Structure 1
Amino acid sequence: MDGFNNTIDPSCLQEPPLAIDIIKQLDVFGIILYSVLTLMAALSLLVYLEECVYIYRKVPSPKKTTIIWVNGAAPAIATMSCLGLWIPKAIMFTDMTSATYFAIVVYKFLILMLEECGGDEEFLRRFGKNRFRISTGPCCCCCPCLPHVPVTRRTLFILKLGSLQFALLKTIFTIISIVLWTNGNFDLSDLEITGTAIWINPFVGVLTIIALWPVAIMFMNVRLTLRSQKIIPKYAMYQLVLVLSQLQTAIINILALNGDIACAPPFSSQIRGNLMSQQLLILEMFIITLVTRLLYRRQYDLLPAADMHEDDNDENTKIVLQCENGDNLA
């Protein structure tokens, strides 16, 4: 074991460096890279703030609050990633902050689709006589045999609760993780069965899947109605933020823990993987911020009111067709 340790650069086994140590060891390329990424994160935040002012003035309540929450996902992640880029010791906290904010966005996006339909009452009036297909991802996309459920207040409450639980429990588990970390009981690199991270993180993953399911159910059943509100590209951006901030980061962290990412003193393999993840997220969230600005910064026209006599018209059409078929047979 001693011989093995002698082949590893001691710098690769050190704790994350301080911000001042990073600044001192930056070369010309590093200075340019850090400057450009910091500028991107700052621009993301400025674009978001300008958009918030526009939405606050032009969009009626309560939709404007929901839109501001949903739009803040990419800028918030970019800002936290920039802080983690300059202060590697804080990466765990910046990642947890980003994940907690996105947990709230999952619930807010569900509310956004309801408000785009005109609110709960208008939604029930439009879809009250329909049945929702629930065989969709990420839970039951392979279960087409699941029955379609009627659209009622109870169904709507369950869908909201399914997403709201993630926003609440994710915040609670983040606080618990920070408290355990201060006591030396929480370490993301500790994959032993006795570690707390190996129990908390999979449980949070299950909560995430449960929360994403109601949003997917709602989108699959209202996407045609809300096509004029550009709900499909909005949902695509929401899914892209999810994949990049959660799945991409998890893959890079797993590779770093396995030692597949080379150590580069003063950064260990794990810290270097974290920094690579922060750099990618800043660039990706900057682009997503610009795209979401095009989608959300616009005038919002109300949907055409649901035709209360639409069902009667359908029934009358069926009766006329049946009568014509009867005359033809006669």
Structure 2
Amino acid sequence: MDNITIDPSCRSKPPLAIDIILQLDLFGIILYSVLTFMAAVSMLIYIEECIYIYRKVPSNKKSVIIWVNGAAPVIGTMSCLGMWIPRATMFTDMTSACYFAIVVFKFLIMMLEEVGGDEVFLQRARKYKLRISTGPCCCCCPCLPHVAITRRSLFLLKLGSFQFALLKIIFTVLSIVLWTNGNFDLADLEITGAAIWINPFVGVLTIIALWPVAIMFMHLRTTLRTLKIIPKYAMYQLVLVLSQLQSAIINILAMNGTIACVPPYSSQARGYMMSQQLLILEMFIITLVTRLLYRREYDPLPEEDADDMENAKMVAVPVEA
């Protein structure tokens, strides 16, 4: 075992973009070309969708729908940049994560706007209560009490998601500042490293932010069923799982040496590369699906019937005499 020599590139930094281009074989050229084409098409589809939304969608919904639609193409484009420029992977991943943090909040706002806005939502939902025993925080706690739908509870739901959009950007800027000073390294798992403290804290913020969105979805999934809110929510969750959980698993495997070193890529750099390539393909497919879901006529919801199916799902708020 002592006589085994390790290729120096397995311990070096990720290769430069020019090194990747010079070492591409025929399969590599085809792979990189196809993935780059997918990322470019995803962005073109998104731009075309933005034009459609700007022309056809009511003004109160334009911004939030454009933000939500951009999750997959933006992550795919950032992954393409990270694939071609491996040394920029940390920054492209941080950019994608910051964008998705905003999308989490925007998806909550989008559901409210689909109902008609805060005032219409409060008017339609005044008879009901919110079931807070849902994922990702309290899905195992069915005994939790239902919460009355008031301006205060709606504000707390918004705040729960908005804090992630704000704090994620703040911690990203802090991470970059610490990185320039040599204090932030994703591979540094020592207790004295900044990454071991920042990343778990951001993970907690993520879970807290996803909870209000899940609560609102559980309440409005019947009301918005004609607007395909269930597949929209599924696509939103899929982007979350693929961009966060999948990437985290691959990166952990790379740091543990499970993913082999293949010069000029170290084990960790190769893990990042595999993650970026998978994300480009996955985000391309999700972009096509979301285009079908959001490209529709945006008519106002019909008035709520007295025997709406939602009555069977929500708990009526007692009316005081």
TM-score norm. by structure 1 comes to 0.92
Matches within 5 A, 1:155-194: 155-194=153-192
State the SS of the aligned residue for 1:131.
strand
Matches within 5 A, 1:6-85: 7-85=5-83
What amino acid maps onto 2:183 in structure 1?
N
User: Contact between 2:58 and 2:298, CA under 8 Å: does it hold in 1?
Assistant: no
- CA offsets per residue over residues 10-59 of structure 1, 9 Å max, x none? 11111111000000000000000000000000000000000000000000
| Corresponding position of 2:239 | 241
Structure 1 CA distance for aligned equivalents of residues 141 and 192 of structure 2: 36
Structure 1 CA distance for aligned equivalents of residues 159 and 255 of structure 2: 35
User: Contact between 1:125 and 1:306, CA under 8 Å: does it hold in 2?
Assistant: no
Q: CA deviation at 1:61?
A: 1.1
Structure 1 CA distance for aligned equivalents of residues 191 and 17 of structure 2: 33
Give unpaired runs (5+ residues) of structure 2.
312-321
Q: CA deviation at 1:211?
A: 0.1
1:227 to 222, 225, 228: 225
Structure 2 CA distance for aligned equivalents of residues 297 and 230 of structure 1: 11
What amino acid maps onto 2:217 in structure 1?
F
Structure 1 CA distance for aligned equivalents of residues 68 and 26 of structure 2: 37
Q: CA deviation at 1:264?
A: 0.2
Cα RMSD, aligned residues only: 1.4
After TM superposition, which residue ranges in structure 1, 4 or more long, deviate above 4 angstroms? none
State the SS of the aligned residue for 2:173.
helix
Structure 2 CA distance for aligned equivalents of residues 226 and 96 of structure 1: 33
Structure 1 CA distance for aligned equivalents of residues 65 and 82 of structure 2: 26
2:119 to 118, 121, 124: 121
Matches within 5 A, 1:280-319: 280-306=278-304
| Corresponding position of 1:317 | none
Q: CA deviation at 1:69?
A: 0.3
What amino acid maps onto 1:87 in structure 2?
I
| Corresponding position of 1:323 | none
Give unpaired runs (5+ residues) of structure 1.
315-330
Q: CA deviation at 1:128?
A: 1.1
| Corresponding position of 2:249 | 251
The reply on whether 1:103 has 2:101 as its aligned counterpart is: yes
- CA offsets per residue over residues 66-97 of structure 1, 9 Å max, x none? 00000000000000000000000000000000
TM-score norm. by structure 2 comes to 0.94
| Corresponding position of 1:277 | 275
What amino acid maps onto 1:195 in structure 2?
G
The reply on whether 1:144 has 2:142 as its aligned counterpart is: yes
Q: CA deviation at 1:305?
A: 2.4
Shift of the 310–233 alpha-carbon distance from structure 1 to 2, 3 Å rule, reads: closer
